[in-house]
Amino acid sequence: MKLSILKIIKCITSVLFFIVPFLSFAQQLVKHGYSSPIVGDTIKYNVWLPKDYNSLEKYPSIFINSYGALSSNGMLAAAYINNFMNNLPKAIVIEILSGDMPNMGYSYESGMVDSIGKKFISSLKTEIIPQIERDYHITKFRAFIGQSYSASYANYLFQHEPGLFNGYVLFTPEKLEENQPPFEVSEQLRKYYNSHPTLYYIAPAGNDIPRRIEYAKDIEKKLMGLDSNTLHFKYELFKEADHNSIVSYGLLPAIKYLFSFYDFEEKKPGSLADAFKMQQKQLISIYGLELPVNSRFQFKYINVAAERKDIEGMDLVATYFQDDKKRDNALMLFNTAYTYYDSFKDYSKAEKYFRMSIESGKKSGKAYTSNGYSWLSTMYIDGLKDFDKAWSVLEEAYDYTKSSIYKYRLGVLAVKSGKNLEQGINNLNFFLLNKPTTFPERLMAKEEAAYLLLAKCYYMQKNYTKAKVNLARCLKLNSNYAAAISWKNEVKL
């Protein structure tokens, strides 16, 4: 039974991620201490760099005030971003260790900050953020995450320092009494957020004090009046959480929301090419970046192209998702090739991309060429019925990889085509003397299967004695081997 594009690419992806050392949580910590003339003290902060950080690239950033339940959670936020299963773009996490109550200087009663708080914000604006921009090349997208007091402080920044951040996450913002702290959206603020893309995520806890939940709902009502095309708002109540455990429940969903425009709406009607171009515009507008070129983001687009049989969209995605500098370039090229082969039956383009995948794989190691060689030969056999080209590809694969699995496949091809039977026998005997010992090749062919193929080769040569001998060897290894039993009954050996 033929595998679907969804299953085969997931399978191939899992194999390659097994081969590559698993470094999903390999974020790098850099500690900083800046002696601020404005504050008159040292501002300490940690910078968590993403896996495979490249100083030539640019990254969005997340600032976390290390206060309350968010204390020491910079590492967790960075780990969530680095975990490839979360399908998030690479980002830099800045954990502001000096972001404590005295430096924030926020008053619940007035909703304002004191003189120390103003100096701290001034240092952030003119010293800390510019320094981080210079040192780590962060983009214009900066998000701020706060909890409790620090979340209410985030509202101060939202109201009185628009543009300092363009993403906000508020976990259980504190409220003392009515209008303490006040939260109002002035006409000037409305004009700003109706013309500057901003994300705002607020998460109260179901087991928290009712006044805090009411405060979050009140904020929701006031922000829903802004233009949803520019102020992107989400309210999410975590019923099981309390005031402090909210971070454990909500941090990953919050980060996913901050980068939600990287998600592609697979069911969105219309042309894939138009939707792709529109998404690129949104990403540049909000994050200052285009869609990352990697196999994780590629997968959803080629899957949509395959399901819709959208060749224009497929051609666009195929061109976009290839970059010889990327570690998973061979995988991206393979995914493209397989989609052209399986979903579009465009063998010419499939052949082109299989070949590109093989050549790219050679730069990364032999393991990366296997998919290209295997499926290129399969396409020649099942798609084009060109057994000679398939034979040539399998010989080429063995010459490059020296993996005996290709000798086995040459034996399979000899039986299937009825050609090159003597060479098929030699290849199968070579395989039996040099069976693969490494993953995943050792799982791809069993010894009894090789003996069955030998029996078939000899049978096709009318050498029935050797056919019987090899069939017996096959059944001795596995007396319940259904394929061997069926063939034995069919040819009456």
Same domain as 242, residue 295: no
The DSSP letter of residue 380 is I
Angle between helices 329-342 and 5-19 (to 10 degrees): 160
- Residue 164 is part of a domain; what is its CATH number? 3.40.50.1820
Query: Are 307 and 406 in the same domain?
Result: yes
Q: Are residues 243 and 325 in the same domain?
A: no
**Domain of 474, in residue numbers:** 290-491
Of 63, 72, 52, nearest in space to 93 by CA: 63
pLDDT confidence bin for 22, thresholds 50/70/90: very low
Q: Does 302 share its domain with 406?
A: yes
pLDDT digits (tens, 9 = 90+) for 93-129: 999 999 899 999 999 989 999 999 999 999 999 999 9
User: Does 19 reside within a domain?
Assistant: no
70 phi and psi angles, rounded to 5 deg: -90, -5
Show which of 213, 246, 262 is a domain's final residue.
Answer: 262
Instruction: Give the per-residue pLDDT at 20.
Output: 33
Shared domain check, 380 and 237 = no
Give backbone dihedrals phi and psi of 287, rounded to 5 degrees, phi first. Answer: -105, -15
Q: Are residues 110 and 241 in the same domain?
A: yes
Question: How far is Cα 19 from Cα 2, in angstroms, rounded to an integer?
Answer: 25
User: Structure pTM?
Assistant: 0.81
Is residue 454 helix, strand or coil? helix
Residue type, 264: F
Instruction: Decide the pairing of beta strands 92-96 and 41-49.
Output: antiparallel
CB atoms inside a 10 Å sphere around CB 265:
10
Dihedral (C-alpha) 369, 372, 374, 378: value to the nearest 10 degrees?
-170
Model confidence band, residue 266 (pLDDT cutoffs 50, 70, 90):
low
Asked if the structure places residue 282 within a domain, the reply is no
- The number of folded domains in the chain is 2
Give exposure, 209-243, as e/b (b: 16+ Cβ within 10 Å).
eeebbebbeebeeebeebeeeebbbbbeebeebeb
- Please, what is the average pLDDT of the chain? 91
Q: What is the pLDDT of residues 327-360, one digit of tens each?
A: 889 999 999 999 999 999 999 999 999 999 999 9
Interval 424-461: pLDDT, tens: 999 999 999 999 888 778 788 999 999 999 999 999 99
Other CB atoms within a 10 A radius of the CB of residue 4 amount to 14
Contacts of 285 (CB under 8 A, 6+ apart): 197
Whose CA is closest to 199, among 236, 169, 156, 164? Answer: 169
Same domain, residue pair 393 and 323 = yes
**Residue type at position 182:** P
| Nearest in space to 317 (alpha carbons), one of 347, 368, 273 | 273
Q: Is the peptide bond before 181 cis (omega within 30 degrees of 0)?
A: yes
Asked if residue 65 and residue 188 are part of one domain, the reply reads yes
Q: What is the pLDDT of residues 55-78, one digit of tens each?
A: 999 999 999 988 999 998 889 999
Same domain, 250 and 301: no
207/356 same-domain check: no
| 23, pLDDT greater than 70 | no
User: Band of the pLDDT at 85, cuts 50, 70, 90?
Assistant: confident
Q: What pLDDT does residue 364 have? A: 78
> Rg (Cα) of the chain, in Å, rounded?
30
The answer to whether 240 touches 273, Cβ cutoff 8 Å, is: no
Do 303 and 242 reside in the same domain of the chain? no
Question: Whose CA is closest to 27, among 99, 70, 84?
Answer: 84
Contacts of 286 (CB under 8 A, 6+ apart): 141, 166, 197, 199, 261
Encoded amino acid at 407, one letter: K
The model's confidence at residue 26, banded by pLDDT at 50, 70 and 90, is low
Written as six digits, the tokens of 129 are 């953020």
How many Cβ atoms from other residues are within 10 Å of residue 434's Cβ? 12
Separation of alpha carbons 322 and 42, rounded Å:
45
Residues 226, 233: Cα–Cα separation, whole Å: 9
